[in-house]
Each structure stands twice: as C-alpha cells, then as structure tokens.
Structure 1
Amino acid sequence: MTITQQGTGSTGTGRYADVNGINLYYETHGAGRPMILLHGGLMSGESFGPILPSLTDHHQVVLVDLQGHGRTADIDRPLDVALMADDIAALIDHLGLDRPDVVGFSLGGGVALQVAARHPGKVRRLVMASAGIRRDATYAEILDQQGQVGAAAAEFMKETPMYELYQRVAPRPEDFPRLLDKIGVAMAKDFDFTEQVRGLQVPTLVMAADADMCPPSHFVEVFELLDGGQRDGGWMGEGRPKGGHALAILPGLTHYDIAYSPLFAVAALAFLDREDRA
C-alpha cells in the first residue's frame, strides 16, 4: 500500500512481513543507504513524520511498527526488547538489507541496542536515543508514573495523541487497554544492559535530550562504557573512542519532543554519514 506521512507529504510503501512469529508492519521511504527507524512506546513509525524528509534525503528509511504498536497487532508474548530486536533482525534478513544503520528512540532505542548487541553482523551503525540502560537511572517520579500504567488508565488516555493514533491505525483498536497492561508490566521489570553496551561491536551514538527521563550524567556514563570521556580527543581525533562511538546531548529538548526535533535528524545524520577515521 502507498502511505503518505501526515503533515510531511512524504510518500512511502507500507507492507507486512511475517517474521519471527509476528506480522510486522513497516514502511519504506526514500532511497540510499538503508536505515531502520524505531519509535518509542505507545507511538508508531509515523511519529517520526516531522523529521522524515531530512532522513530520507540520502537514505532509504524503513519505519517499523513494533509489536502491539501502530499497525502491528500484538501477539501472545511479553513486550520485551530482546524479542522485538529479534523481530528486527528477521526483518533485515527478509528485506535483504546489507548491514543497515539502526536508529531508535526510547523503547525503540532499547530495541536498537539489542539488535546491535544480539546481531552485530547485521548492523553498520547504531543510534540509541533517550534510552537509559538501567531502570534505576530513570528519575524516581517517572518510575512512579510508569507504575500507574495499565488497562485501568485507558479511560484517562482517550484525549491523548497516543490513543488517537492507536484508534486510527491499529488492526484491533479494542486492544489498547491490553497494550497498556503489557507496557506497564515491561516497565516494572528491573533491567541493566551495562554488559551489552560494553560489548557493542558497532559504532554507536548515544543521544539524549538535556532534560530527558534520565539525567545527562547517565548518558555520559553509557558513553564512558564505550571508551568515551577517557582522554582528550587530539588534534586529529586520535584520542576519540576506539570503536568510533559518539555522544550527543541535544539542548533545549525533553524526552517528549526530542524525536520530532530537527536536531535529532542533524545529530543522527552527522554520525551516520561521517567517514570512519583510520
């Protein structure tokens, strides 16, 4: 099917792929080196509409609706970033993509990290935005709010853009309370992806807003796990992290608007399109 992203005029092709036990919806926009773009929780690929024209200028962008989100119906398994990462790896194979870049925000950032950690041979570069790697790095008041997410909150969310989107595009709109339940369970689980980050084998950009769900210091800590912040970078960049990793703290933004900001596209493209230093 032909899809026009709302408010952008960007036209792409929307299809379903039966991969890894799920009927995964994806759209393809633009042409060039492939990039897989992964959205945040309770969102869908179409949420990247404001920045999509910048990303598709020189890239083929594959927008994916993750399990239970957007046009991808839920299946009988938990919402788990590792399982969703295997969906993306299977989609890469299904589409015959040659080591695409994987860019993810929030939930999608966690999935993107797991794609690179679990399937390093399938990824060229990784951008993980606004994705804390430990649950305890999230501000306490946000954890309290996340603890209230569940089916009982569905009635209170009927005026939100997330509910409107789900009702408009989901294969089973009545599943919204179920999605809230599963997200609530997922957010309540403790996690620590320190070792996955430390073991990354692909160049990685750690990105966050300067007023995100975790303090900037947490994202600096993630960068330090990747050999960042250990020494002066040097006149020729010889002191930069050995794996080609980078850090971007975007000014004047929050967790709730970073993925729509032109700065998101600028930072991601600057990292993805730079020439590797010898």
Structure 2
Amino acid sequence: MSMEWNSKSSGTGEYAEVNGLNLYYETHGTGRPMVLLHGGLGSGEMFGPEVLPALAEHHQVILPDLQGHGRTADIDRPLEIPLMADDIAALIDHLGLDRPDVVGFSVGGGVALHTAAKYPEKVGRAVVTSAHVRRNAVPAEMLAQQGQVNAAAAEFMKDTPMYELYQRVAPRPEDFGRLLDKIGVAMAQDFDYSEEVRGLQVPTMIVAGDADMAPPSHYVEVFKLLDGGLRDGGWMGEGRPKGGHALAILPGLTHYNIVDSPLWATTVLAFLDAQQA
C-alpha cells in the first residue's frame, strides 16, 4: 500500500510556548473549534487529504504536532500521554479557546482521553479513535513488535512515511532515532486507563476500525465503562449512556488507514454536531 502523509491542505502554521515546549500548530477552517491530534511517529499531516478539509468545512481545526513529532522539537521530558494532555490544555488556554472539541487518533486518542478526563472544564466533547485503554488489550505478538522499537530501527524505516515526513519537517531531522527510543520506552510501560474512562464528564465517542490494533470487543468494554451497551436504548434514547457517550466500530478499516477515511470524518462530525441539539 502506498502511503504519503501530506494533507496538502492550506493552513496557517504557528508556534506556542507551552510547558517548556515550542509547540507547532496549524489552523484550518472556521466554526466551532476542534483540536485534532495525530498518532505516534506522525504529525498533523497524517490526516488524509479528504479528511482534514471535510472537518475544516464545519469547524475551526487546531492541528498541533505533539512533543517530539513533526515540527515540534523534543524536550528533556519523557514522551508520556498524560504530559502531552497537559500541553493540549495549555494550548487551549494559550489560544483562548472556549471548550473546543478534542479529537485524537492512536497516541493522540490517548491524549484526547486524558485531556478530557483531567480538564473537563476546558473540553466540549471528545473523540477517542483507535486508542486502547489497557496495554494488554493488544495481542502479544503486537506487543513484541512494539518492544523492538528503538533508535536501531531507524535504518529499517527509511522507506516509511513516518521517516520521510520527519526528515522533511522536523526542526532537528537527526532526532528521529531519539524519537524511536522514546516511543519504544513509552510503549513498554504497562498502563490501564479504565479509571480515567469511568470518570469522563464530557460526551465522548470511542471509535475503532473493525480490524484495529485491539479487537472490537475491547472497544465495547470501554463503552461499557461509560454506561454504554448495557441495556436497550429505548424509543426516545432514554436508555443510552447518561453522559451522551457513543461507540463507533467502522467497517473495512484498520489502525493504519482509519484517519484516511471519509467515513471516519463523517462519523466524527455526526457525533460532534448532533450534540449541539
């Protein structure tokens, strides 16, 4: 499969000083603001060429590059999802945004989850895509592959979209090996974010492909933590989760192409905009 990570969508790029980080972000479109968070080893450019314009047609999309990714240089700090959530909360304050929706994929999905859980007063709604909430939800063979991610793997990644993107946009292209080391250390840590999910106070949609990194059953379990899938929804929706939460398992998609899909963009917009009623 040929992949090129470049949205080719025109936006305004700027930097914000937050938490000691020179955080790069772009702004696309107009409307109610949405912070859109990319996955590991990517950048804001990884959202498909049809997806970002579809979102920006309805919303002002704030598109950051997370710590050590894309145009945001790394700092002397672990690459940890809760810390990156603090960065996003600080960016929301820096930009004076009024409870933007926070939408994230993979690592960015974890960041969206933690931002919504820790800073509910700063977030309107959240969409958490392809982000398992327990490390052991992923098959053992995938965990073994993740354990092999380190700087030594950089040589074998030179034909990948991750490497090409980093070399093209990073402030210090030579840091790619350092990013791999930090990602590898982060992925080796055990985690269970079930309590963060249970405590969510903002309407949240859990999204995954039907052949994602973790099985669909895991995302159903996450939905159950949000009071979802436990009873009939009722004629008037009275049996739906009390917090306004939702679940979407998208057909024919994987961890590696879900944010290229117009179906994903449509699903995100349907959830965010229906909540306005």
Query: Please, what TM-score do these two structures have when normalized by structure 2?
Result: 0.96
CA shift digits 1:19-58 (9 cap, x unpaired): 1110000000000000000000000001114211100111
The answer to whether the Cα contact below 8 Å between 2:7 and 2:46 also exists between their aligned partners in 1 is no
Mapped partners of 1:206, 1:272: distance in 2: 12
- Match for residue 123 of structure 2? 123
42-51 or 79-88: which moved more?
42-51
The answer to whether the Cα contact below 8 Å between 1:38 and 1:105 also exists between their aligned partners in 2 is yes
- Match for residue 64 of structure 1? 64
The answer to whether the Cα contact below 8 Å between 2:154 and 2:176 also exists between their aligned partners in 1 is yes
The residue type paired with residue 24 of structure 2 is: Y
Computed over aligned residues only, the root mean square deviation of the Cα atoms, in angstroms, reads 1.3
Structure 2 matches for 1:234-245, cutoff 5 A? 234-245=234-245
Other structure's SS at 1:154 match: helix
Deviation at 1:141, TM superposition (A): 1.2
- Match for residue 271 of structure 2? 271
Mapped partners of 1:73, 1:265: distance in 2: 28
Aligned residues with identical type, % of pairs: 76
The answer to whether the Cα contact below 8 Å between 2:6 and 2:46 also exists between their aligned partners in 1 is no
Q: Structure 1 segments of 4 or more deviating over 3 A?
A: 6-9
Mapped partners of 1:114, 1:18: distance in 2: 21
- Match for residue 44 of structure 1? 43
Other structure's SS at 1:124 match: coil
Structure 2 matches for 1:217-236, cutoff 5 A? 217-236=217-236
- Match for residue 16 of structure 1? 15
State yes or no: 1:53 paired with 2:53. yes
Other structure's SS at 1:18 match: strand
- Match for residue 32 of structure 2? 33
Question: Which ranges in structure 1 are unaligned for 5 or more consecutive residues?
Answer: 1-5
Mapped partners of 1:255, 1:242: distance in 2: 29
The residue type paired with residue 114 of structure 1 is: H
Query: Please, what TM-score do these two structures have when normalized by structure 1?
Result: 0.96
The answer to whether the Cα contact below 8 Å between 1:244 and 1:276 also exists between their aligned partners in 2 is no
- Match for residue 101 of structure 2? 101
Deviation at 1:7, TM superposition (A): 6.4
The residue type paired with residue 15 of structure 1 is: E
The answer to whether the Cα contact below 8 Å between 2:6 and 2:45 also exists between their aligned partners in 1 is no
Other structure's SS at 1:41 match: coil
State yes or no: 1:261 paired with 2:261. yes
Deviation at 1:139, TM superposition (A): 1.3
The answer to whether the Cα contact below 8 Å between 1:32 and 1:60 also exists between their aligned partners in 2 is yes
The answer to whether the Cα contact below 8 Å between 1:117 and 1:200 also exists between their aligned partners in 2 is yes
The answer to whether the Cα contact below 8 Å between 2:7 and 2:45 also exists between their aligned partners in 1 is no
The answer to whether the Cα contact below 8 Å between 2:29 and 2:56 also exists between their aligned partners in 1 is yes
Deviation at 1:10, TM superposition (A): 2.6
The answer to whether the Cα contact below 8 Å between 1:208 and 1:216 also exists between their aligned partners in 2 is yes
Mapped partners of 1:230, 1:152: distance in 2: 46
The answer to whether the Cα contact below 8 Å between 2:134 and 2:193 also exists between their aligned partners in 1 is yes
- Match for residue 153 of structure 2? 153
- Match for residue 207 of structure 2? 207
Count of residue correspondences: 273
Mapped partners of 1:63, 1:34: distance in 2: 11
The residue type paired with residue 13 of structure 2 is: G
Mapped partners of 1:90, 1:276: distance in 2: 25
The residue type paired with residue 35 of structure 2 is: I
